[in-house]
Each structure stands twice: as structure tokens, then as C-alpha cells.
Amino acid sequence: MKRILLYISLSFLFSLFSRISFGQDIHFSQFYNSPLNLNPALIGGFNGEFRFVGNQRTQWSSVTTPYSTFGLSADAKNIYNTPIGVGLSVYQDKAGDSEFSTLQVGIGVAYTLTLKDSLQTITVSGQPTFTQRSINYDKLQFDNQYNGNFYDANLNNGENFNNDGRTYFNLHGGIAWNYKIAQRKELTAGLAMHNILKPQQTFFNENIQLHQRYTLHIGGLFAVSEKVDILPNINFQTQNKFKELIFGGQGKYHLNNGNYKALYAGVWYRNSDAAYFNVGLDYADFHFGVSYDLNLSSLKVASRNRGGFEFSIIYIIQRYRPDIKRYKACPDYL
């Protein structure tokens, strides 16, 4: 009986957590490998013509039903030889026993202004987004379904849920600054504002808006030797009463060995929540990243310090431009 009551209590707590987590947006530990989610103004912020990004995160498998987040995005720069870039992003998040699901589809447009010295650029962007949220009440368990001896799923839960989903329109925007000081020496900073329209997000007849989220990020690339770079980063986000600060960095080792171009390793800290580590690899036009969170919050008693894995992959296409010869040399005849 104690086990049954404990199980019902845990189910209730995690269903409650799913409700109160309405106020927080999708985010990744490898924020630097999820540019369109971090700041729409990072659309087109890469060396190449087209970029494709994939992200996957699994968390809390040591505590409850794992929370999983997937992300796919694609962006292009200099559309029709203009300073305009476009991007498409799709994110899917599923959380807890209730399978609380969030699907976001965003279409972003960015405009890049090159400053006089041509080493600095400023990009502004807007990103209209459609969001669909749903919950599966059949996956939840309630005290009314305890018959006095054991849990019986056939019993009425005594609850009246009128709505199991909601779809709404949203808008994000941002500005980013980039300064290419020299070869392997670069600075980037940006400010983003998400949920500008503060849409209604509740499934019930209540006035519960999605709070605006502000993000400030600063990063750099600095060569410290012929083969080694360091990439420090700071990311600060605030949404209503929630605040998140991430700081850390990576080391990059240049291989210059065929398709194997560089190795990465880094250490990060997220305030009052987790420390995590990452490794990465540049191979041909791909970048692969893996990170693992160590939980340091008050939940560490249940999680035993285990957080979750996160994976990322980036593929950049360089458009082929044929070498056009303006003339053909004729051989000399004696």
C-alpha cells in the first residue's frame, strides 16, 4: 500500500510539474550548437551558403519518464545576393508521464548590415512561430482510481478536463553583432526577445500568458597557439521569475588531417542546476557535438546527480563555384 501511495504521489507531482513548466521555453545545454533557438538574429551567421542543424536531448531518465527534446533547423544567407537570410526551425518537446508535448515551427528572416570597416556586421531578425501544445490525461493516475487495495485504471478519475491542447501564434526577434578581428580571432554578442506577443497558453478558461524571455549571449574565438583555439561563452536568460546563467568554454585542436579537421572539449556550469561537459568533432563539412549534464540542484537526491545526454549535428554546404577561365593559352610551335 505504501508503494502504491508513493507511486500515485510521484505521478501527481510530475503532472503538476508539467503544468507549472508551461512558463519555460525549450532550451539546450549546447545552446551554441542550436543558433536559431538561441537568437533568430543568428540566421546566416556561418561561413557557407546553407546550414542544417539537428539537436536531441534526453533528461531525467533516472527519476521518471524521460523528458525528450528534438530540434531541426535550416538557414541560408545572402538570398539572391542580398544581405537577407532566411531560416526554418522545428522543435518538439515531450515531458513527463502526461506526455505533455510542445511543437514549435518558426520561419525567420534576418537582415545583415556590414559596417564601414567590413570586419563588423550587425544582424536584426524577426521569427514568426506557430506552437501546438497537448497533454495525454489518460497517462495520469489519480487518487480516485485507488479502490482501497490497489490502483484500478478502469475507475473514473473524478476529474473533468475540457481541453487537451492549444495552438497559438507567437513572435520572436533579436539583434546580433559579429566582429572578425583577424584570422582565428572573433567576437560575437546578441540580444534576443522571445514570446513578444505573450500569447495565451493555458488549456483552461483562465488568463495565463506565456511570459516573454530575454536572452543575452557573448562568445569568442581566440587562437592561443598554431593548433589550439579557445571558445569562451556566456549565456544569460530571464523569463518571469526564472533566471538562467551558463558560462564556460571549449578548447579546439586543429588536426588538419584529411577530412578530420578539429577536436573540441569543454566544461560548462549552469547556475544552481548543473555542470556539464562536451566533446566535438569537425569532419569534412560536418560538426558533431555530445554533452552530458551532472545534476547539482535539489533534485540530485532523486537523480543521483545524473542529468542527461545531448547530441548535436551541423552540416554546412559550400556552394560550388566553377573556375571560369577567361582565355585559353595556345601552345607554341617551332
Q: What is the CATH number of the domain that holds 171?
A: 2.40.160.40
Per-residue pLDDT of the chain (334 residues), as tens digits, is 444 433 434 344 334 333 333 446 788 999 999 999 999 999 999 999 999 999 999 875 555 667 889 999 999 999 999 999 999 999 999 887 778 889 999 999 999 999 988 899 999 999 999 999 998 887 787 888 788 888 877 888 777 777 778 899 999 999 999 999 999 999 999 999 999 999 988 887 778 889 999 999 999 999 999 999 999 999 999 998 889 999 999 999 999 888 999 999 999 999 988 899 999 999 999 999 999 998 886 555 455 556 689 999 999 998 755 555 555 555 555 5
- Round to whole Å and give the CA distance between 50 and 71: 17
- Round to whole Å and give the CA distance between 143 and 5: 8
334 belongs to a structural domain? no
78 belongs to a structural domain? yes
Are 95 and 60 in contact, with CB atoms under 8 Å apart? Answer: no
- Round to whole Å and give the CA distance between 103 and 91: 6
Q: Quickly list DSSP for 128-140.
A: EEEEEEE--GGG-
- Round to whole Å and give the CA distance between 237 and 40: 15
156 belongs to a structural domain? yes
- Round to whole Å and give the CA distance between 117 and 43: 22
A 10 A CB-CB count for 138 gives 11
Q: Quickly list DSSP for 60-106.
A: -TTTSSPEEEEEEEEEE-SGGGSSEEEEEEEEEEEETTTTEEEEEEE
The pTM assigned to this predicted structure is 0.83
Domain that holds residue 203: 2-317
Residue 7 has a pLDDT of 40
Is residue 326 classed exposed, middle or buried when 0-12, 13-18 and 19+ CB atoms within 10 A define those classes?
exposed
The count of structural domains within the chain is: 1
269 belongs to a structural domain? yes
233 belongs to a structural domain? yes
204 belongs to a structural domain? yes
170 belongs to a structural domain? yes
Type and span of the H or E element at 248: strand 242-257
273 belongs to a structural domain? yes
